[in-house]
Amino acid sequence: MKNSGAVIFDLDGIVVDTTGLQFLAWRKIANDFGFDFSKDQNEGLKGLSREDCLKQILAWGNIKLSVKDFHKWMDIKNSYYLNYIYEMDASAILPGTLELMDVLQEENIPFALGSASKSGKIVLKQLGIYSRFDAVVDGNDVKNGKPDPEIFLLAANRLGFAPSACVVFEDAVAGVQAANRAGMISIGVGNKGLQKEADFTFNNLTEVTREFLQNFLLFQS
Ligand code: G6P
Ligand code: MG
């Protein structure tokens, strides 16, 4: 029996507990420029590309940079972030992620990564789960970050499924908007603010049952 759909996972805040590390790295950049920003402000950075995050932070600090310096600061942010990442192990995988992947594999439902982070592949390898994904799309593979649908459309294409057959798990407003624009089913996780935009919401992936997935993905005869 052929499965009827596929799943796309965002990375930071869905597969792995890295949202705090991204926040710390970006905050260090702001601190290097002599200002700070709050966790609430950080919500608006979630899901955006590295370039768009830096643009937003510079706007908060009212700082203008040359193109050369802009690239230099993106590299500095990445070195801060990678220092955290290389300390991380599989205990950073979020509750419910591996169990959900097990269910999908049992039911022969392919799944992909669809992340804006240019460190997406590095993070999956660090966690030892890269090879579990049928396709991996990260920030190196696309021109446009979320909320543009390019990341998710490329992931669907690599999986060989129509966008309308794909279910996306996302923790960021920009990510839910990208899934919606791609014409996919959007599932918001861990953030009550997503209720307005996502098709469905859960507190975390442990709440996502086989029966729920069956509505979209499984056992089509
Ligand atoms: C994702 C995360 C953001 C992060 C961005 C860029 O969108 O949600 O928190 O800032 O990726 O990540 P990168 O690892 O490429 O700098
Ligand atoms: Mg995320």
Residue 1 has pLDDT above 70, yes or no: no
Average pLDDT over residues 125-134: 97
- Percentage of residues of the chain with pLDDT beyond 90: 91
Q: What is the CATH number of the domain that holds 213?
A: 3.40.50.1000
Average pLDDT over residues 146-151: 98
Last residue of a domain, one of 45, 69, 85: 85
145 C-alpha to ligand 1 centroid (Å): 10
Residue 166 has pLDDT above 50, yes or no: yes
Regarding whether 170 and 129 lie in a shared domain, the answer is yes
Regarding whether 28 and 9 lie in a shared domain, the answer is no
H/E run at residue 167: strand 166-170
pLDDT reported for residue 219: 47
Residue 60 has pLDDT above 90, yes or no: yes
pLDDT reported for residue 220: 47
Average pLDDT over residues 173-195: 94
Regarding whether 106 and 46 lie in a shared domain, the answer is no
Ligand 1 binding site (Cβ under 6 Å of any ligand atom): 12, 22, 45-50, 53, 78, 81, 116-119, 139, 172
Name the least confident of 68-72, 123-127, 189-193, 199-203: 189-193
pLDDT reported for residue 221: 38
Whole-angstrom distance, CA of residue 95 vs CA of residue 101: 12
78 C-alpha to ligand 2 centroid (Å): 17
Name the least confident of 117-121, 122-126, 212-216: 212-216
221 C-alpha to ligand 2 centroid (Å): 34
Regarding whether 139 and 96 lie in a shared domain, the answer is yes
Q: What is the dihedral of CA 17, 19, 25, 26, to 10 degrees?
A: 170
pLDDT reported for residue 217: 82
Question: Residue 186's pLDDT band (boundaries 50, 70, 90)?
Answer: very high
Which one of 9, 48, 136 would you pick to mutate in the ligand 1 pocket, going by the greatest count of ligand atoms within 8 A of its CB?
Answer: 48
Which one of 15, 23, 117 would you pick to mutate in the ligand 1 pocket, going by the greatest count of ligand atoms within 8 A of its CB?
Answer: 117
Q: What is the dihedral of CA 125, 133, 52, 34, to 10 degrees?
A: -30
Whole-model pTM: value is 0.94
Average pLDDT over residues 91-113: 96
Regarding whether 50 and 159 lie in a shared domain, the answer is no
Regarding whether 34 and 23 lie in a shared domain, the answer is yes
pLDDT reported for residue 2: 54
Mean pLDDT over each residue of the chain, to the nearest integer: 95
Regarding whether 122 and 144 lie in a shared domain, the answer is yes
Q: What's the total number of domains in the chain?
A: 2
Regarding whether 148 and 76 lie in a shared domain, the answer is no
Last residue of a domain, one of 51, 85, 119: 85
Average pLDDT over residues 183-191: 95
Specify whether 10 is catalytic.
yes
pLDDT reported for residue 192: 81
Regarding whether 96 and 180 lie in a shared domain, the answer is yes
Regarding whether 143 and 63 lie in a shared domain, the answer is no
47 C-alpha to ligand 1 centroid (Å): 6
Residue 46 has pLDDT above 90, yes or no: yes
Contact 48, 56 (CB under 8 A): yes
Q: What is the CATH number of the domain that holds 48?
A: 1.10.150.240
Regarding whether 127 and 55 lie in a shared domain, the answer is no
The ligand with the least distance to the CA atom of 171 is 2
Domain that holds residue 67: 19-85
Last residue of a domain, one of 70, 85, 100: 85
Whole-angstrom distance, CA of residue 204 vs CA of residue 79: 29
Regarding whether 133 and 67 lie in a shared domain, the answer is no
Average pLDDT over residues 93-108: 96
Whole-angstrom distance, CA of residue 144 vs CA of residue 116: 9
